[in-house]
Amino acid sequence: MTRQLHLGGFLIASPVTHSHAAWRHPGSETDYFGPEHYHRVGRILERGKFDFAFFADLLAAPDRFGGDQSEPFRRGTQAAATIDPSLVAASLAAVTSRLGIAVTKSATYFHPYELARVFGSLDHLTRGRIAWNIVTSLTQAEARNFGHDAHVDHEERYARAEEFVSTAIKLWSSWDADAVTADKATGVWADPTKIHPVDHIGEHYRTRGPLNQPRSPQHRPVLIQAGSSETGKNFAARWAEAIFEIDPTPEGRRAYYDDVKSRVVNFGRNPDHVKVFPSFIPFIGETESIAREKQAFHNELADPISGLITLSVHTDHDFSQYDLDAPVEDVRVSGTQGLFEVARRLSHRDSLTLRDIGKLYAQGVLLPQFVGTATDVADQIEASFTGGEADGFIVSSAQTPGTFNDFVDYVVPELQRRGLFRREYEGATLREHLGLGDAHDNLPADIRGEERVLVG
């Protein structure tokens, strides 16, 4: 059978996704804080047999660019206004039956027991369709919102995340799969010998356990990560089952794919059970010229300052202090280091100024744009997929829900015709959609051999 690709749809529970122009687009919906918008998008993605909807999130309104929040609010930039994606996921689950739902939550500003309980509950409520996108948070603004004077150092955040994830896994495994008997005749609801305390006492976290809920349908959520720094890529290769990536160049995507897959092997894991998902924005038209007009109209709406506000968020660095018409300088950033490296690489390659980078960032946070007829866009997807760049793709929108409607109506049938994408869901859970196999078998080799409570 021909190897088939996977698809996710990128969302933030807000007016802005990757595209900062999307909310200004006349074709976009404007109610981003009620359930109907997300229900509509979810139904479109499920109609297109997408593996999952992916919700990114940040925990603070931007304040890094110029040390002021007024411009982010005025311009409506990324994270200026969001609602909690875990609650959106619960609502979306009620109107879909097969679509997976990936939710971003921080491993820096929550506790493992709290998140284990949230994601275990969501996995139950979705009947096994939930994923956790693990982030370590980015900014000083997020730290202050949680009562801290300063954000934790990059390396320390990942050290905490390592303990956080391993502790959450222990909690998800604290109930054996057959612990609940619900025997009405004997009055025994669960076998206490099959429910195990965790008794975790670590450097950063303590929890007695067990989780006060039975094992969920997937055992635990599918784990997603987007590591781009050296530490981040190691963390993703150790834990993630799907990896979200941003790189606008084929050579960059290919190098990233080869790099993380080799790291996965080094952690004793099956590289086929770790799916790499680059992201792109499609512009689809009846002809190539119509698609180019759609792209040009969208890109013209992008405001460079809005892009630089979000670049400042992602890197936790204030870019208001630089000359907009000068090249991007070599500066030390503490946030998403990989994204800034991409920006710096593009600047050096194409002689781009900081204003140019801001414009590109506002158009889609450096995502490539796949443009043309449905056949043209499918050609670009197939070339990337067969060229060793991806196991699947995260489709991001230039307008919502129009981009998703066009992609599902025109590109998905072309991918199906080529045998590259499913015609129907073959499983019920997200883990089955992605072909990930058993949750325990997909852990790092050293963790698979640890204590009984981890195995369950």
Average pLDDT value for residue range 414-430? 98
Evaluate if residue 333 carries a pLDDT over 90: no
Evaluate if residue 338 carries a pLDDT over 80: no
Specify the pTM: 0.94
57 a known binding residue? yes
Look at residue 314 and tell me if it is in a domain.
no
Strand partners, 369: 281
Model confidence at 330, pLDDT cuts 50, 70, 90, reads: low
Look at residue 36 and tell me if it is in a domain.
yes
Evaluate if residue 150 carries a pLDDT over 90: no
Instruction: Give pLDDT tens digits for 271-320.
Output: 999 999 999 999 999 999 999 999 999 999 999 999 999 999 888 889 99
Model confidence at 121, pLDDT cuts 50, 70, 90, reads: very high
Evaluate if residue 119 carries a pLDDT over 50: yes
CA-nearest of 205, 77, 87 to 141 is 77
Cis, peptide link before residue 282, omega less than 30° from 0: no
Which one-letter amino acid corresponds to residue 325?
D
Instruction: Give pLDDT tens digits for 61-109.
Output: 999 899 889 999 999 999 899 999 999 999 999 999 999 999 999 999 9
CA-nearest of 386, 388, 393 to 368 is 393
Model confidence at 450, pLDDT cuts 50, 70, 90, reads: low
Q: What is the pLDDT of residue 454?
A: 46
Look at residue 316 and tell me if it is in a domain.
no
Evaluate if residue 453 carries a pLDDT over 60: no
Evaluate if residue 47 carries a pLDDT over 60: yes
Q: What is the pLDDT of residue 117?
A: 98
| Domain of 235, in residue numbers | 6-284+369-455
Overall number of domains in the chain: 1
Average pLDDT value for residue range 357-372? 94
Look at residue 438 and tell me if it is in a domain.
yes
Model confidence at 7, pLDDT cuts 50, 70, 90, reads: very high
154 a known binding residue? yes
Instruction: Give pLDDT tens digits for 25-37.
Output: 999 987 899 999 9
The whole-angstrom separation of Cα 304 and Cα 324 is 9
Q: What is the pLDDT of residue 336?
A: 62
Instruction: Give pLDDT tens digits for 192-248.
Output: 999 999 999 999 999 999 999 999 999 999 999 998 889 999 999 999 999 999 999
Higher-scoring residue by pLDDT: 451, 274: 274
Evaluate if residue 361 carries a pLDDT over 80: yes
Look at residue 232 and tell me if it is in a domain.
yes
Look at residue 333 and tell me if it is in a domain.
no
What CATH number should be reported for the domain holding residue 80?
A: 3.20.20.30
Look at residue 308 and tell me if it is in a domain.
no
Evaluate if residue 456 carries a pLDDT over 60: no
Look at residue 277 and tell me if it is in a domain.
yes
158 a known binding residue? yes
229 a known binding residue? yes
Evaluate if residue 363 carries a pLDDT over 70: yes
Query: How high does pLDDT run on average in the chain?
Result: 93
Average pLDDT value for residue range 358-364? 93
Model confidence at 334, pLDDT cuts 50, 70, 90, reads: low
